[in-house]
Amino acid sequence: MQTIQIRLAEIIEALSKALDLTEGQPPGHCIRACFIGTHIGREIGMPDGELQELYYTLLLKDLGCSSNAARICELYLADDLSFKRDFKLVDGSLGQVLRFVLGHTGVQAGLAERFRSILNIVQNGGEIVTGLIRTRCQRGAEIARQMRFSESVADGVLNLDEHWNGGGKPLGIAGDSVPLFSRIALLSQVADIFQMSNGPDAAIAEVAKRAGSWFDPALAAAFARVAARPGFWAALRSDDLEAIVLESEPGRQAIMATEDYLDDIAAAFARVIDAKSPYTSGHSDRVALFTDLIAEEMGIDEGGRRFLRRAALLHDIGKLGVSNSVLDKPGKLDDEEWMAMKRHAEFSEMILSHIGAFSDVAKIGGAHHERLDGKGYPRGLTAEEIPMEVRIVSTADVFDALTADRPYRAAMPISRAFAILREGAGQSHDPICIEALERALRKTPLEVTVAARAAA
Ligand SMILES: [Fe+2]
Ligand SMILES: [Fe+2]
């Protein structure tokens, strides 16, 4: 197996920034939580091997976060990004919860919808939140396993929202039954959210206030000691934090990624991306399949095909930063919403360009909505500026968009999709790619394949 010189921590750190986008947190939240949590781990004398697992649990704690975004949006008729951010500041007391609900339910919706939403929350609030958290945690743990992390890491992600006093969700387990990694991750998450919104003193006070209820008192005490150390807050708030966290990966040896491992990471992250909206379920996987069919038909070698498959899996990673109120809107987007939607391509490029191993993939992520006639976005590139790799992925992308359900229309048959593609050939997409896909599909009974994948 080929070994490449890329540290796993570097990749996971960069991907954690995509998770911050989905959570609506200020950029770097997962990295800061990692810094806080590993300090607590060291403070309580955790051995190196465990510290390394804790480190990855902290970076990946929000892996399941995209999976309940659509549901939050539908239930609360609100922008899921601001909902998630503000929800984390609520401590569970009735007054705070009601203020939050009234402040966040259907801010842009009509009175009748708002009334129904509030009624639904009052009647089913607990169940709804438990369901949301269960989905989020289970999905996150599964994806952690797919990324080859240990059961301890998966378990840490799974139980992130359980509280020390049993008042957490979804299981309501208490005390030592809550895995240590989850206890540290929850505390670190809250500490960062409060220090970002109201400063270090607010974080210290909030952790002390929730000690014994949300948090393990021993960990709250360890945090208080860590927080009193000179330089702790300055490092946490410094511009170099990313490098500091990368350099401080616990364990005697940093974990290195292989090419096969990178494929697994891309595939696992595609699930995070696709879980964001019911309409994108399976999209990244299918775009990877169509991309590979085109590439094979064009005689591209295995190395090139592997690169293209990764690019296809990650092309829409920027959608994590777009609210579901836009992604899932059943009607036409207004100007502001359309601007928000278009930004996903820039977000994709920005996220991927920070990952050394995926920096070539970043260009495809940024350009997959460009058109040969210069009418695409975000840059309006012209044909000469759009390389073949981009043309292949964007053809696969639009083919899947046409043949899958969309919020504004039902899926169309493959023959109709090709008629549309051929009509726009040379203006929107490359005729060579369209023909290659058509030839490949003639050889493959794809109506069956696509239906089977969609049902899976
Ligand atoms: Fe896209
Ligand atoms: Fe796409």
Question: From the CA of 315, how far away is ligand 2's center (Å)?
Answer: 6
**Predicted confidence band at 455 (pLDDT cuts at 50, 70, 90)?**
very low
Question: From the CA of 74, how far away is ligand 1's center (Å)?
Answer: 22
Geometric angle at alpha carbon 235, from 230 and 237, rounded to 5°: 120
* Residue 383 DSSP class: G
Question: From the CA of 316, how far away is ligand 1's center (Å)?
Answer: 5
> Catalytic annotation on 443?
no
257 φ, ψ (degrees, to nearest 5): -95, 145
Q: Global pTM? A: 0.83
**Predicted confidence band at 256 (pLDDT cuts at 50, 70, 90)?**
confident
Q: Which of 88, 319, 332, 443 is catalytic?
A: 319
76 compared with 381, residue with greater pLDDT:
381
- Distance between CA atoms of residues 334 and 383, nearest Å: 28
What is the number of the ligand closest to the CA of 393? Answer: 2
- Distance between CA atoms of residues 360 and 252, nearest Å: 31
* pLDDT single digits (tens) 217-238: 999 999 999 999 999 999 999 9
97 compared with 298, residue with greater pLDDT:
298
DSSP-assigned states of every residue in 114-136: HHHHHHHHHHHHHHHHHHHHHHH
**Predicted confidence band at 108 (pLDDT cuts at 50, 70, 90)?**
low
**Predicted confidence band at 118 (pLDDT cuts at 50, 70, 90)?**
low
Which of 358, 428, 355, 362 shows the shortest CA–CA distance to 397?
Answer: 428
| Tally of helices (H runs) and strands (E runs) in the chain | 23, 2
- Distance between CA atoms of residues 389 and 377, nearest Å: 17
What is the number of the ligand closest to the CA of 287? Answer: 2
* Residue 15, burial from CB neighbour count under 10 angstroms (0-12, 13-18, 19+): buried
What is the number of the ligand closest to the CA of 343? Answer: 1
30 compared with 120, residue with greater pLDDT:
30
439 compared with 74, residue with greater pLDDT:
439
* Residue 176, burial from CB neighbour count under 10 angstroms (0-12, 13-18, 19+): exposed
Question: From the CA of 367, how far away is ligand 1's center (Å)?
Answer: 9
* pLDDT single digits (tens) 270-315: 998 988 887 788 899 999 999 999 999 999 999 999 999 999 999 9
Which of 118, 145, 213, 207 shows the shortest CA–CA distance to 175?
Answer: 213
Q: What mean pLDDT, rounded, does the chain reach? A: 86
Question: From the CA of 347, how far away is ligand 1's center (Å)?
Answer: 10
Cβ-Cβ contacts under 8 Å for 448 (sequence gap 6 or more): none
Domains of the chain, CATH where assigned: 15-253 (1.10.3210.10), 277-455 (1.10.3210.10)
**For ion ligand 1, residues whose CB falls within 5 Å:** 316
Count of other CB atoms within 10 angstroms of residue 198: 13
Q: Is 451 helix (H, G, I), strand (E, B) or coil?
A: helix
